[in-house]
Amino acid sequence: MSVIETRDLRKTYGRIEALKGVSLRVEKGQIYGLLGQNGAGKTTLIKILLGIVGKTEGEALLLGAPAGAVEVRRKVGYLPEDHAFPGYHTGYSLMDFYGSLYGVPAAERAKKIPEALELVGIAGRMHSKIKTYSKGMKQRLGIAQALMHDPDLIILDEPTDGVDPMGRKEIRDLMADLKNKGHTIFLNSHLLGEVELICDRVAILQQGKLVREGTIDELTKTKGTYTLGLLAGQTFPTDAVTALGFPVRALPDTAGHFEVTLPDGKTIEPVMKLLSERGLTVVHIVEKKQSLEDVFMTTVEGAEPGVDRKRRRGARPVGGGE
């Protein structure tokens, strides 16, 4: 049973289509990244999964039950992007309040609150007013409240927003630890480098459509380009490899590495055979990859913002959308 599954999920606001038939699956124990420009439909998708807004057509399932069902919502932890915790609370009292909403017994809350705040690195400030917290500390507190009731599914919307580089690494480590303990994480982030480091699978939304989906390796692989390096002191036979029909380019600032491009329908095998016949030893061979940022920018290039984009203060919604 998938933790999250959507089938041809659609959402319209009047004449505006926020989601246009999105189908995806998130399996137990995965860290799944959701990417897209502002307006791509990410917020709408998350709101449907949480039962905040209703779908127009299709299916949205969490843990095998319809999204929004009470028994499912008890098993979900959520960090919204633009949370605003009351400044008069302390970290401890806020966690106690949320724990009571989650139905965690008082004795259990007293034990879990220090543990959760220690986990995100702010236990030393648990009795300080939230109004004295930095943005990064508030973000850590938000993650702690999402974990308070030990949920099966954790939905994090921009969890490292406002957090310094060291803090981002600590949050990545925390997500990896949660994954190892069997939790599933559904992550929305604009920090593509963070997503590339931590996610098992990634989906890219564009104007309400799912346009790319797969593992990081699948998405970043550049088909048909290899980087090759020979044993120190050996000379790469550039002219001979080029004569076979494989363009070669020496890579600057490397220890004798060359980039070999495969013609359509060809494999790297003829090049490897030629090198072997000449008694050359290949010590480095890697199929070239793009960064996730390269993939994302290529995918969404030229796309216009959609219904989920943040409106200017005072602007009226179009067709009832957000």
Q: Are 209 and 42 in contact (CB under 8 A)?
A: no
Q: Is the pLDDT of residue 289 over 80?
A: no
Would you give the DSSP letter of residue 32? Answer: E
Mean pLDDT, range 94-102, rounded to an integer: 94
On the question of a common fold for 4-218 and 222-289, the answer reads no
Residues 6+ apart with CB under 8 A from 186: 4, 26, 32, 34, 46, 49, 153, 154, 155, 156
Letter string b/e over residues 44-61, b meaning 16 or more CB atoms within 10 A of that residue's CB: bbbbbbbbebebeebebb
Mean pLDDT, range 106-128, rounded to an integer: 95
Which helix (H) or strand (E) segment holds residue 219: the answer is helix 216-220
Q: What is the pLDDT of residues 163-207, one digit of tens each?
A: 888 888 888 998 999 999 999 999 998 889 889 999 999 999 999
Domain topology for 222-289: Alpha-Beta Plaits (3.30.70)
Q: Is the pLDDT of residue 154 over 80?
A: yes
Question: CB neighbours (10 Å) of residue 298?
Answer: 10
Question: CB neighbours (10 Å) of residue 190?
Answer: 16
> What confidence category does residue 299 fall into, taking pLDDT thresholds of 50, 70 and 90?
confident
* Whole-number Cα distances in Å, 191 to 35, 160, 209, 226: 9, 8, 21, 28
Q: What is the pLDDT of residues 238-272, one digit of tens each?
A: 999 999 999 999 988 777 899 999 988 889 999 99
**Per-domain residue ranges of the chain:** 4-218, 222-289
- Greatest alpha-carbon pair distance for the chain in Å reads 76
pLDDT for the residue 153: 96
Q: Which CATH code fits 4-218?
A: 3.40.50.300
Q: Are 307 and 19 in contact (CB under 8 A)?
A: no
